[in-house]
Amino acid sequence: MLHLRKMRAGPLLVSRTVVMTETRTATPRTATPARPTAAKPAEANASDAFGCSLQEVAKQLVSRHAPGAELVSVRELGADTVDDGSTLKLIGYGRPLRLDVKLPTGEHVKWVLHTATPNPFGHDRRADRVAEMVLAYDTFRFIPSHTKALDVGFVADDGSLVSVAHTNEAYLITTWAEGHIYADELRAVATRGEATERDIAHAARLGAYLAELHQPLDDPHAYVRSVRDLVGSGEGIFGIVDGYPADVQGASADRLQAIEQAALAWRWKLKGRRERLVRTHGDFHPFNLLFDDDSKLALLDASRGCAGDAADDLMALAINYVFFGLQENTWAGTYKPLWDAFFAAYRQGRRDDDVIAVAPPYLAWRALVVANPAWYPDLSPEVREALLAFAERALTADRFTLAHVNEVFS
């Protein structure tokens, strides 16, 4: 069975992203004229980028946008080549190609085919490059005298072009998973007033699952990116804080700013720990976890590139044991056994002596989420106060430990 889920960004199913624009020749505004090295045949390099013949890509574009026209030449536009080394720009975000086209009327026009290449400046994922291209197509028209964006799309695995120029929101189709969300089990614990053996077994299953999932990855840029996104992305701490209304009791602007600043200090403690990069789910909370009647586990909506620190997944779930416990004012016989079983199973399956010590900014992020009225508008001020205080203590502790959770319920 198939179902539809809204996708956060970017089209689907194809492998390369391109934007095509019109271009006009202009005199460079540099103190020293640039050397004319930009126009060179681009077949080899660009074919590697597209995974198919550049000439075929260019011919398809010409055929689509100017039926009957002739593609005269394809040239790669080179990097900055001015003599003044102090102003020389070494890199860009792609390799633009100039297409010289002869229209059926005999008129010659020039188009530029833009591609995006991976780099550590927020373009390391394909989704980043998709977003860059779609944003360019959507916004070039707002700038007077700017080149016009003619099309945006992908080159598919078979070499065909897939335009997304005249589209609206993206979509994603996934398979269906049977089961109930884990959040329902956490609610049932509060209703019963105790955790059953099955509840404890499921918490342990989740810890064991993460221990198996968290396999080391070798991508230094990915770890730095994950830490940066933890603090500065729209779904990270900055974005969540920006989502707080101005008049939330217990979450004043001064308090949220202080939490932000404490988390930012943690970025500088973590960004050099690139050896900590592992495969992650990226959004391991109770509404993305399913158990069926036979206790088979299924997961939904993996996020954020599926690479980061193991503490991310651990805190994403662990804060919810605290969250549910605070709402019902219960801990010792209800959610604490789940907390203990979850972390015990993780430690049994994977040794990571520092995972709890580096957890404070991840815990703070998730605490800010569950304390935010955008997600939980009926949350009491007392529970919000307890959640944010827990985050603050974690961020400022000399060394955070799992025992700090007991202070929340003392």
pLDDT above 70 for 41: no
pLDDT at position 82: 53
Average pLDDT over residues 111-122: 83
Please give the full DSSP string across 37-98, using - where no structure is assigned: ---EE-HHHHHHHHTS-HHHHHHHHHHHHSTT-EEEEEEE------S-GGG-----SS--EE
Average pLDDT over residues 109-114: 90
Among 36-50, 139-153, 175-189, name the one with the lowest average pLDDT.
Answer: 36-50
pLDDT above 90 for 249: yes
Average pLDDT over residues 378-407: 96
pLDDT above 70 for 4: no
Residue 274: which residues within 8 A CB-CB, separation 6 or more? 220, 223, 224
Neighbours of 290 (CB within 10 A): 18
Residues 289-308 have pLDDT tens digits of 999 999 999 999 999 999 99
Question: Which two three-digit tokens encode residue 384?
Answer: 């919000």
Q: Phi-psi region for residue 175, left (φ > 0), alpha (ψ -120 to 50) or beta? A: beta
Among 27-41, 92-106, 391-405, name the one with the lowest average pLDDT.
Answer: 27-41
pLDDT at position 117: 79
pLDDT at position 26: 41
CATH superfamily of 177-409: Aminoglycoside phosphotransferase (APH), C-terminal lobe (3.90.1200.10)
Scan for tokens 């188009």, then name that residue: 111
pLDDT at position 31: 37
Neighbours of 25 (CB within 10 A): 5
- Over pLDDT 70: what percentage of the chain? 82
pTM given for the model: 0.83
- 51: confidence class by pLDDT, cuts 50, 70, 90: low
- 198: confidence class by pLDDT, cuts 50, 70, 90: very high
pLDDT at position 128: 84
Which residues of the chain are in CATH 3.90.1200.10 domains? 177-409
Q: Indicate the residue type of 382.
A: E
The average confidence (pLDDT) of the chain is: 85
Residues 327-364 have pLDDT tens digits of 999 999 999 999 999 999 999 999 999 999 999 999 99
pLDDT at position 125: 85
More confident residue, 249 or 1: 249
Q: How far apart are the first and last CA of the chain?
A: 47
